[in-house]
Amino acid sequence: MPLIRKAASRWLSVMSRYLPSPGQEWANAMLREADFVEGDWHVLLWVLGSTAALCRYSISLELGALNKYCSGQLSAKGMAKSMFAMLGGVAVAIIFLSLCIATFAGLLHGSWFNPVQQKLADRLLIVVIPETAYLASALACWRRKKTFAVGILGAGALLMAHAVMHFVAHT
């Protein structure tokens, strides 16, 4: 198989892997037809045209999904559901932070706890661990519970802003 034909087919087959499932069938259809196109340069043109067609199709699919998502979000029921999920995320973040603060308070009672360790534990338990946990849980939930993840991230952003202001004021 000549190089141009091979490269063109390879390009289309690689592209088809990254398309949403309805687009994959069409990409395969275009790819199969490319085998029957006469002339190497005609194959290249066929593949370039197919690529353009698939890009248009993917964009239209994405826009359709976005439109559906937005119209769902804009309904009163959808907004209430989103708000509830977001508040749930914030609540979980607050509960986790409270547990971290309680742990820190518990450690303060330890007689072995010197001021250097206290400062380190403060930063670790009240900033680093909660922020890491927020980020990890938001990433884990992002696909299935996006608004819940947004709530967690919002709480994390507030905590981070608070921590930055605290450190700037005390250093």
Binding site for other proteins (CB under 8 A): 25-26, 28-30, 32-33, 35-37, 45-54, 56-57, 64
Q: Least separation, in Å, of the C-beta of 2 and other proteins?
A: 18
Please identify, using beta-carbon distances, which residue of 65 and 83 lies nearer to other proteins. 65
Measured between alpha carbons, how far is 8 from 41 in angstroms, rounded to an integer?
10
Any idea which residue has 């000549």 for tokens? 2
Please identify, using beta-carbon distances, which residue of 43 and 150 lies nearer to other proteins. 43
Residue 4, C-beta contacts closer than 8 angstroms, at least 6 positions apart: 40, 41, 43, 44
Please identify, using beta-carbon distances, which residue of 37 and 135 lies nearer to other proteins. 37
Please identify, using beta-carbon distances, which residue of 13 and 98 lies nearer to other proteins. 13
Q: Least separation, in Å, of the C-beta of 4 and other proteins?
A: 16
Do residues 104 and 122 lie in contact, with contact meaning Cβ atoms separated by under 8 Å?
yes
Q: Least separation, in Å, of the C-beta of 59 and other proteins?
A: 11
Do residues 12 and 47 lie in contact, with contact meaning Cβ atoms separated by under 8 Å?
yes
Measured between alpha carbons, how far is 40 from 42 in angstroms, rounded to an integer?
5
Q: Least separation, in Å, of the C-beta of 63 and other proteins?
A: 11
